[in-house]
């Protein structure tokens, strides 16, 4: 099985691209969703309380993800601590997930901060979804109902899109003019051909 990573900066549209791959029958592991689920884990809650005390908790004891986001997107040290807590657990889940999908020709691991967490060497192929910065800002403002300043704060914590493109084997352009399905189709067929050649 070929391990494929799908990445892209905030607002690039990588989740839309992931859905297209899933239509092709390719299993997709969404690391962002799995990470959010971990905030319900008692051990993770304990560690977050040690880091931030009650600042990131609701009255009912659940993690207040909005409060947590407002802290970590303005404090790189805090962001690193949370990443060090959450992402090894997510990657452990991913490795177990891969075992259950070992018969597949290839799988997709969707992650916004693949390069930022130095995970690129764990994959055979990397696909970056690229979009102009202004378009990405507008998409996130509309999607999350947040200000331009808030979006730009988040963007500061991500590697420049141009660098991600250079570090990836494939780039999907999602600029509002380029059609996504033909780009995904081309990559899908190349990956299937690569599997056949290996086999």
* 134, 148 Cβ separation under 8 angstroms: no
pLDDT tens track for 172-194: 999 999 999 999 999 999 999 98
Inter-residue contact 31 to 111 (CB < 8 Å): yes
How far apart (Å, rounded) are the C-alpha atoms in residues 52 and 55? 6
Domain boundaries, the chain: 1-27+105-199, 40-100
Q: What pLDDT was estimated at residue 135?
A: 96
* Residue 139, pLDDT score: 95
Q: Per residue in 141-160, pLDDT tens? A: 999 998 999 899 889 889 99
199 pLDDT band, cuts 50/70/90, is: low
Residues in the chain: 199
1-27+105-199: in CATH 3.40.50.300: yes
Residue 63's DSSP bridge partners are 57
């Amino acid at each position: 099985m070929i391990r494929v990573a799908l990445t892209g900066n905030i607002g690039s549209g990588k989740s839309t691209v992931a859905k297209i791959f899933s239509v092709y029958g390719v299993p997709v592991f969404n690391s962002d969703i799995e990470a959010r689920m971990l905030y319900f884990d008692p051990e993770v809650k304990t560690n977050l309380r040690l880091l931030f005390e009650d600042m990131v908790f609701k009255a009912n004891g659940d993690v207040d993800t909005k409060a947590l986001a407002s802290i970590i997107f303005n404090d790189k040290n805090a962001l690193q601590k949370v990443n060090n807590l959450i992402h090894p657990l997510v990657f452990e889940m991913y490795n177990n997930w891969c075992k259950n999908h070992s018969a597949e020709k290839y799988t997709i691991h969707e992650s916004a901060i693949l390069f930022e967490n130095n995970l690129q060497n764990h994959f055979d192929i990397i696909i970056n979804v690229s979009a102009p910065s202004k378009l990405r800002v507008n998409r996130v403002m509309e999607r999350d109902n947040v200000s331009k300043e808030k979006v730009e704060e988040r963007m500061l914590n991500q590697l420049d899109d141009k660098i991600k493109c250079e570090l990836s084997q494939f780039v999907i352009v999602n600029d509002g003019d380029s059609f996504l399905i033909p780009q995904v189709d081309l990559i899908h067929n190349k990956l299937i051909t690569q599997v056949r050649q290996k086999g």
